[in-house]
Structure 1
Amino acid sequence: MDHVPSVILGLCSYTHDSAAALLVDGELIGFVEEERLSQQKHTREYPRHAVEWLLREAGLTAGDVDAVAYNFQPARYLVESPAALRLALSTTTRDRTLPRARGFAKVALRTQRRLRTLGQQFPAARVSPVLHHRAHQLAAFAASGWNDSAVLVVDSLGERQTTTIASGHDALRPHTRTLEAINDPASLGYVYGAVTQHLGWRRGDEEGTVMALAALGDPKRFRHLFARAVRTTPNGFALDPAYFPPRVLTSGYPRLSRRFIDETCPERHPSGPLLDVHRDLAAALQERTEQVMLHLARRARVITGSRRLCVGGGVATNCVSIGRIIEAGIFDEVFVPPAPGDAGTAIGAAVTVHTDSHSRRPVSGVARACYLGPSFQDQALDLRQWPGLQQKTLGIKTAEFLADQLAHGMIVGLFQGRVEAGPRALGNRSILASPLEPGVVERLNATVKFREPFRPFAPMVLAEHAAKFFTLGQEAPYMSMASGVTDKAREHVSAIVHANGTSRLQTVTQSQNPFMHEVLSAFARRTGVPVLINTSLNVKGKPICGTPAMALDCLASSGLDALLLEGRWITK
């Protein structure tokens, strides 16, 4: 009898960062975040564009889908409702007891309704809800390609869990086993988001801005407060509800207490002045986050015995914390997948359902893959919508031409091949600039990205020359790790060194991205430096450009000098 293919659609939907992934017979056909196609940053809408593209790519219809893997389990929320009654035992938390119990029950029912809605869209499919942290674990471990490792997931909330330590096994049929879990209200992601919002930035979006700001502050002022408020325990950490009241899954309940505000500062308005107290608060928050992440990494090492670590969940995007774990030498190697946040759980959920089905087919196309979204290589380009733009087609020496323009100080958008997975541009949807150009950081922030002047820019470097400039001591293919820098970096490429003496680097190999490897090599021949500034092809508040139209809008509306779009050189 002919083999009937197994078609599993993995979804992250209805919460934030909607995304979809498709596994056919265990092979990853593709993955893309909906925002890259819909232009709505962090969208929570059902990922219609993403799903349509995946089915088209595989030559399938909605009726061919056997299983829909969803990244939450509704029943797990319900368990927290009776558990919330323990809050009634303390005068500090008593007023949140019933609202918290009601909130978790309400989300459980809402999640159940969402599963029914998905079932109606895919009538032949079984809808399989996957435990959120298991989806994170599988997304990280399967992407590593390792046969075994410790897996640490730290986020804001998945059903009840906020932190899990697991062991991962088998590169071909990846599976994980959770060894320890920390439940809400102890949540590092909740703390970071709450303080981000207090400092005047968007929670769930601009935590990276607070991480950058932290380098300009002195943590001493609020160090003792955070040591009290986020206390380490033998197997993890706990929050003091006097500073961070227990979460209520309904709006209208503040995330910070009056005591926290009295002992730190009033809430900053987004357009308000940035004061030393704000810098110091960010610095203390970041320092405590790094300490707790190191503590959790050490715990993962002890209970798994593994010499390798995969890290997932939203807090894994805190690249300075990841850098600290690597520097501490707890593990031989640390891996963060290209999409460690919720979007990546679309892949993790699909892998989980495939593994649980006991299919004899191995998982393929996930390990060490980051260019997973749509490509527009053969699409005709009509510039009539952008009357100020003009194009010319380049010849075969495109990389040499681009390196030459960059060496002469141009800031260039690059749109080539498949869309990257995750929050970082990795050379396919990037803005590139020379780190040797005087004032380049100021120019990028002010006229191209339209963002805060203290925000640093990340370098991409030829992997074979990385050790001359960076002290990390391992590859960093997805720009998810902050590294210390060498004297040579400080001397030659100071533009990519942040105030804390680190850089969030991307190491580039020929096998990972042949074109970017060629560009970096050509730039090095002209300048003696195999390093470029690489930031995402977007402006502040907009998603990374997933389509040619989005990229052309970005060129037309920003201070970009030019856009290299699939071999076409487009200027104003």
Structure 2
Amino acid sequence: MDQAPSVILGLCSYTHDSAAALLVDGQLVGFVEEERLSQKKHTKDYPRHAVEWLLGEAGLSATDVDVVAYNFRPARYLLESPAALRLALSPTTRDRAVPRARGFAKVAMRTQLRVRDLGRRFPAARVSPVLHHRAHQLTAFAASGWNESAVLVVDSLGERQTTTIAHGHDTLRPRTRTLETINDPASLGYVYGAVTEHLGWRRGDEEGTLMALAALGNPGRFRELFARAVRVTPTGFTVDPLYFPPRVLTSGYPRTARRFIDATCPKRHPSEPLRDVHRDLAAALQERTEQVMLHLARRARTVTGSRRLCVGGGVATNCVSIGRIIEAGVFDEVFVPPAPGDAGTAIGAAIAVHHDSRAPQPMSGVTRACYLGPSFQGTSLDLTPWPGLQEKALGAEAAEFLAEQLASGLVVGLFQGRVEAGPRALGNRSILASPREPGVIERLNATVKFREPFRPFAPMVLAERASEFFTLGQEAPYMSMASGVTDKARELVPAIVHANGTSRLQTVTHAQNPFIHEVLSAFARRTGIPVLINTSLNVMGKPICGTPEMALDCLANSGLDALLLEGRWITK
């Protein structure tokens, strides 16, 4: 029998949100998204910087890699080509049948070429393609630390699959068994992306903007339309091609049909002012998304019998939907990993290979871990490229000093420790501000983040005092769940309450992030409030700052008052 691989490199590459993860003898060495190091947001490039950092961290070279785990299986795309030809039987979808079949076949070949490219980069390694949804499932379940749970993955497309319900087992050797599958063209992620694009935002990037806008609209205006367009079935849902034509994996094929446009509004240009019809359309889409996600969660409860749920895939970043599932009480607890989207599948793909190889070592380093990327502690700092910036070193009093500055009204960038996994800043690459400061939301949107004025800002709160301000009833360590708020929150920190009455909170324990816990505690001693505004250390259109240079650029080119970078207080 061949020896089990000891070095497994998991990759998400060539599509979007490139990332890499490294397992050595079952231990997760680290994980990082390429954009945090390359400064190219949502990059699809081979994650060169991420791989170099991981191998250097482990003291290895490319020739030491035993297996490269890739997050797609090329052959699975081919199964859709004959199925696509059946669309020719309906006059509604006839014109898409052949292009769809051809597109899936082309992507299958393209993915196989990508697998070969990885083989050339690692000539001593075996390249192992992993089913995309399986990678999502394992990313979510392994991070939960639970011995068993239901696992729901909802995204736009993974080979053919768009939705899977699985049962996860075993903490030390995590595995999942898929019980039910929904294939494309029934895709909730596809529909959400189509409407995002129709309303003038970038599909695959700005769906969160649409979710925020939804709180300002009236869903009743288009409620019946979405009930027809996305129909719930006993085991899942379907998408009506009269409103959203089947996907063609080639450019030039619109995702919204003439019937949808006639019943709603013309496509909005990004520079066009927002009107009520745009807000109402976003609200109806969001409402239907929440309804379908809750229906799928109930289905997962039925088919698995589990009292716990892990959720993964791109649609899992829809924090309001996750909050609705929690509020419904279908499960005792719901978990979303820090990187539920495609980037995180680099971890899941590596776990899949580790499990399939029957390696003797149990998994470690994944459970409840979110600070997985590079750290720059002890790195020398040269401020010469940023004239006008000045620094002073802070000692053991850094947390107290930062809390004092925040309480006085400053907006401060924070760069400390290892880079967070996933799309949310969790205190290591954050912008912090006091929720008590008048006009703080307007200031952050206009002069710091440079984004739409209706976008809300998320709070971080001491976990032990969360129930005073939020009604979620469980921990939310990765800012992936929207919670209702208490009267105390509305009275004392209205800045963190969105128009729909929710907040996308992050609960912070001392074990998770000692420094942030200390800052929150110090801020509470000064103000009586254990809550801070927390948004990512970046400006609109740029990735979260993964390196000191990126953070200094952010300070120099935004309305930030100061940056606390590894114990150094930097001001303009």
Correspondence for 2:487? 487
User: What's the RMSD between the two structures over aligned residues?
Assistant: 0.7
User: Does residue 429 of structure 2 align to residue 429 of structure 1?
Assistant: yes
Correspondence for 2:330? 330
Distance 2:520 2:566 in 1: 18
Q: How big is the shift at 1:4?
A: 8.5
Deviations 1:114-169 (A, max 9, x none): 00000001011000000000000000000000000000000000000000000000
Correspondence for 2:276? 276
Distance 2:154 2:459 in 1: 26
Distance 2:551 2:5 in 1: 36
Q: How does 1:411-490 map to 2 (within 5 A)?
A: 411-490=411-490
Correspondence for 2:571? 571
Correspondence for 1:370? 370
Partner secondary structure for residue 247 of structure 2: coil
Partner secondary structure for residue 195 of structure 2: helix
Q: How does 1:292-371 map to 2 (within 5 A)?
A: 292-371=292-371
Q: How big is the shift at 1:441?
A: 0.3
Instruction: Flag as ranges the 4+ runs of structure 1 deviating above 4 A.
Output: none
Q: How does 1:157-176 map to 2 (within 5 A)?
A: 157-176=157-176
Correspondence for 2:254? 254
Correspondence for 2:211? 211
Q: How does 1:148-159 map to 2 (within 5 A)?
A: 148-159=148-159
Distance 2:166 2:555 in 1: 44
TM value normalised by structure 2: 0.99
Partner secondary structure for residue 208 of structure 1: helix
- Contact 2:41–2:541 (8 Å) recurs in 1: yes
Correspondence for 1:120? 120
Distance 2:484 2:461 in 1: 14
Correspondence for 1:85? 85
Q: How does 1:11-26 map to 2 (within 5 A)?
A: 11-26=11-26
Deviations 1:352-383 (A, max 9, x none): 00001011211100000000000000100000
Distance 2:308 2:14 in 1: 34
Partner secondary structure for residue 10 of structure 1: strand
Distance 1:331 1:365 in 2: 26
Deviations 1:218-272 (A, max 9, x none): 0000000000000000000000000000000000000000110000000000010
Correspondence for 2:76? 76
Deviations 1:383-427 (A, max 9, x none): 000011000001211000000000000000000000000000000
Correspondence for 2:186? 186
Count of residues paired in the alignment: 570
Partner secondary structure for residue 283 of structure 2: helix
* One-letter amino acid matched to 1:84: A
User: Does residue 51 of structure 2 align to residue 51 of structure 1?
Assistant: yes
Q: How big is the shift at 1:5?
A: 6.7
Distance 1:535 1:395 in 2: 25
Q: How big is the shift at 1:85?
A: 1.2
> Identity of counterpart residues, as a percentage?
85
Correspondence for 2:62? 62
Q: How big is the shift at 1:174?
A: 0.1
Partner secondary structure for residue 534 of structure 1: strand
Deviations 1:532-559 (A, max 9, x none): 0000000000000000000000000000
* One-letter amino acid matched to 1:60: L
Distance 2:5 2:136 in 1: 25
Correspondence for 2:264? 264
Distance 2:139 2:546 in 1: 22
Correspondence for 2:558? 558
Distance 2:217 2:281 in 1: 7
* One-letter amino acid matched to 2:527: T
Distance 1:403 1:5 in 2: 47
Correspondence for 1:510? 510
Deviations 1:32-86 (A, max 9, x none): 0000000000000000000000000000000000000000000000000011111
Distance 1:487 1:517 in 2: 24
Partner secondary structure for residue 149 of structure 1: strand
Distance 1:255 1:565 in 2: 44
Distance 1:4 1:142 in 2: 20
Distance 1:165 1:232 in 2: 16
Distance 2:183 2:418 in 1: 38
Q: Structure 2, unaligned stretches of length 5 or more?
A: none
- Contact 2:4–2:357 (8 Å) recurs in 1: no
Distance 1:395 1:472 in 2: 36
Partner secondary structure for residue 77 of structure 1: helix
User: Does residue 524 of structure 2 align to residue 524 of structure 1?
Assistant: yes
Q: How big is the shift at 1:503?
A: 0.1
User: Does residue 23 of structure 2 align to residue 29 of structure 1?
Assistant: no
Distance 1:110 1:343 in 2: 19
* One-letter amino acid matched to 1:196: T
Q: How does 1:373-412 map to 2 (within 5 A)?
A: 373-412=373-412
Distance 1:557 1:417 in 2: 23
Partner secondary structure for residue 345 of structure 2: helix
- Contact 2:19–2:31 (8 Å) recurs in 1: yes
TM value normalised by structure 1: 0.99
